[in-house]
Homo-oligomer: A and B are copies of this chain.
Amino acid sequence: MATILTTSNGHAPEMTPTEPSSPQPLRAQKSGDIRSSPKYKHTFAVHSERRTSCLSSDSLKSPSYAGFRNLMGLVLVVSNLRLMMENFKKYGVLVTLSGSSIPRGDWTWFGILYLLTPCFLFIAYAIEALAAQYAKSKIAERKRSEGDGDKDGHKETVGQGKRHLFSTWRVIALCHGFNASLMLAIATVVVYFYIHNPGLAAFAQLHAVIVWLKVCSYAFTNRDLRHAYVNADSAESALPSLYKSCPYPNNITLKNLSYFWWAPTLIYQPVYPRTDRIRWDFVARRAIEFIILSVVIFVACAQYAVPLLQNSLNDFSQLHLVNLLERILKLSTISLVCWLAGFFAIFQSFLNLLAEVMYFGDREFYSDWWNCCDLRSYWTSWNKPVTHFMKRHIYAPMVGRGVPPPLAQLITFIFSGLLHELLVGVPTHNILGVAFFGMLGQIPLVWLTDPLSKIKSHNGRTAGNLIFWLTFCFFGQPVAAVMYFFAWQAKFGQDNRPEWPLQGTGKG
């Protein structure tokens, strides 16, 4: 900043002396003929050349706007502090730590589900172990017939073996399918009918869905590994070299499965890139982040979101649209905070913590989705574990079998929509279909915003990014949250209203 005062042409440098006690001698100005004598200071030619204002469009150099960016952040913090003070004045402290509103039965069922769900993973292991045994016996059989030197018989045995394997695979697939579906069905039914609190219910359902996806991945991957193993002599080496250290069927062990059970990934691999050691300070930091963010989300919901949603019940029932819009805009800030905090808590803090403790090497759980200017890149970069699963086990095999990519994409989004509905509709005990159709509705939006991804200009990308934030975080999520909340209220009504005083004469 000192340069403004000393090098701009025509400015006397006396305003910023380096030692406050001694005046600076006048330096020769940059432009040789503008020289002010020490004697006639009042005649100094301040205006000596044409210059433009730095905010004018015809200025040579655009100024930095870093100061305004800092100001934006400051204004956000200050105005939210103010809203927090206003909320405190209105409601006092609404956050209760007792958890007394959660029925005891909820905790019991949650515990049962939490212990029961992984058992199905071990049942899947058992199925795979049997399948591996079968494959090994097939290989041994083939080797024996080869040893007999009967080439034709060998081909026939291989052919027979392939047919047997194929029908055996059907049996194996059936077993896996039944196992996995049973687990998911049990979890869904228990959550829907027996776990009342939506928070606990959501955790239980999420746990079940994660384990279900892992079971599917385990089954699919081992199926391909087994086929490659059985067809070892006819196909070229078709497996990643990474797996060579643990070839099929050496990977079908309890230890291998347990690692996969806890690893922060939905994709089964016999071998994962590993780290050398656990950095316990890293783990501690991630744990603290996770705890703090969870508290922030909990407080944000209890203190800010719930009263706001309660207050908007009236407006909704009277369809007072302007008021409802104002409520949704207010809710959008809170939902944005919860969304960003939740994203960071899960994908940055929790998964990294898990990865560090499990010596798991590949920590790319997300990429910079906040910069994306089209919805396609958003969906493929915010939640990489699920994206990897979809690509590897659903999209790529379909495309590989000749399904047209747009159709494969549609099927993938349908599958994703069903999962979202399971995760949102079941815990709130209202299968509205909003989450499902929300996901399906992403497809036209993805195609609509695809052209934006090709824009290279800064302004174009900024516009795309703003459209993304607006549609997704300002209108998408708050509206969906409001719908599920209202459905909850409609179903459970008066009994579930929290017992804090509301402003004025009740709901107003």
Q: Does A150 touch B at the CB level, under 8 Å?
A: no
Jot down 5 A-B pairs with beta carbons below 8 A, ordered by A. A1-B373, A1-B381, A4-B380, A46-B267, A75-B76
B67 and A368 contacting across the interface, CB-CB below 8 Å: yes
A42 and B392 contacting across the interface, CB-CB below 8 Å: yes
B368 and A64 contacting across the interface, CB-CB below 8 Å: yes
Q: Does A156 touch B at the CB level, under 8 Å?
A: no
B406 and A333 contacting across the interface, CB-CB below 8 Å: no
A56 and B352 contacting across the interface, CB-CB below 8 Å: yes
Checking B78, B371, B399 against A474 with a beta-carbon cut-off of 8 angstroms, the contacting residue is: B78
Q: How far is A143 from B370 in the complex, measured between Cα atoms in Å?
A: 80
Q: Does A40 touch B at the CB level, under 8 Å?
A: yes
B53 and A366 contacting across the interface, CB-CB below 8 Å: yes
Q: Does A169 touch B at the CB level, under 8 Å?
A: no
> In the complex, which residues of chain B have a beta carbon less than 8 angstroms from the beta carbon of A272?
47
Q: Closest CB-CB distance, A373 to chain B, in whole Å?
A: 7
B370 and A466 contacting across the interface, CB-CB below 8 Å: no
Interface residues on A, range: 35 or more
B221 and A14 contacting across the interface, CB-CB below 8 Å: no
Assuming the A-B contacts A54-B367, A63-B371, A66-B371, are A45 and B243 also in contact, with contact meaning beta carbons closer than 8 angstroms in the complex? yes
- In the complex, the chain B residue whose C-beta lies closest to that of A44 is B392
> In the complex, which residues of chain B have a beta carbon less than 8 angstroms from the beta carbon of A207?
none
* 19 other A-B residue contacts (CB within 8 Å) besides A43-B221, A53-B347: A4-B367, A12-B396, A14-B395, A33-B240, A37-B235, A39-B224, A42-B224, A44-B392, A44-B396, A46-B388, A47-B272, A49-B362, A51-B362, A54-B367, A72-B72, A72-B73, A78-B332, A85-B329, A86-B326
Assuming the A-B contacts A48-B240, A70-B469, are A89 and B392 also in contact, with contact meaning beta carbons closer than 8 angstroms in the complex? no
Q: Does A55 touch B at the CB level, under 8 Å?
A: yes
> In the complex, which residues of chain B have a beta carbon less than 8 angstroms from the beta carbon of A182?
none
Q: Does A348 touch B at the CB level, under 8 Å?
A: yes
Assuming the A-B contacts A362-B51, A377-B4, are A399 and B85 also in contact, with contact meaning beta carbons closer than 8 angstroms in the complex? no
B79 and A333 contacting across the interface, CB-CB below 8 Å: yes
Assuming the A-B contacts A44-B396, A45-B242, A469-B70, are A326 and B273 also in contact, with contact meaning beta carbons closer than 8 angstroms in the complex? no
